Amino acid sequence: MKRLVGIGVFILLLSIIGSCKKIRKLKEFDLMYTEDIIIPANNTVLTVPFDIFTPEQTTNTEAEYDNQGTSSKLVEEVKLTKLLFSIKSPTSSNFDFLNSVEIFLSSPNNTEILVASKYNIPETGLKQLEMEVSSENLKNILQDESYNLRVKAVTDKTIFSDITVTTNATFHVKARVKNVFKRK
């Protein structure tokens, strides 16, 4: 009889340990943001870096986290996994005017971080540029209600008219799941 109780307790402990491992498992998903940046026309070639600031952007991450069954308090890591620049207008433009570009993110409660860059951009008529992304954890920036994007660019050609560039950013999120024991 004691042997059966011992086996029962052992099986119960195994099932509890197995459940705990499932609870610790992280939920992973992507957040995507799109924003337009206007690169202003200039009358001269600017071989020195110049900054382009964008208006403050709302993150809306708490709603996204809730849709994924988590919350900002349970997020462990947010990393930029892809950043693509695409010429929007004028459609005849390309990135031949651009020598290098660096992209920075900040938020009201967090200092600026270099999140992506591209150097020695070739003059081959490219209409899209995929940036090299950093491995920085951006959790704190995206937990704020808004963020700021700053682009630092160096041109090697004159820009005769404003160029609108669309940025498509993908952030990969790792978070614990909330309400694990919630009954359906």
**Cβ 64 vs Cβ 172: under 8 Å:** no
d(CA 183, CA 140): 31
Q: Domain of residue 96: give its range.
A: 27-176
Domains held by the chain: number: 1
pTM reported for the whole predicted model: 0.79
Instruction: Report CA-CA distances (Å) from 166 to 68, 110, 111.
Output: 26, 25, 24
| Digit-coded pLDDT (tens) for 51-109 | 787 778 887 888 888 899 898 899 999 999 999 999 999 999 999 999 999 999 999 99
6 inside domain: no
CATH number of the domain at 107, please.
Answer: 2.60.120
d(CA 77, CA 180): 20
Residue type, 130: E
14 inside domain: no
d(CA 12, CA 168): 49
97 inside domain: yes
d(CA 9, CA 164): 66
54 inside domain: yes
162 inside domain: yes
64 inside domain: yes
12 inside domain: no
84 inside domain: yes
Residue 13 pLDDT level (bands cut at 50, 70, 90): very low
pLDDT given for residue 155 in this prediction:
87
Tokens of 52: 């382009």
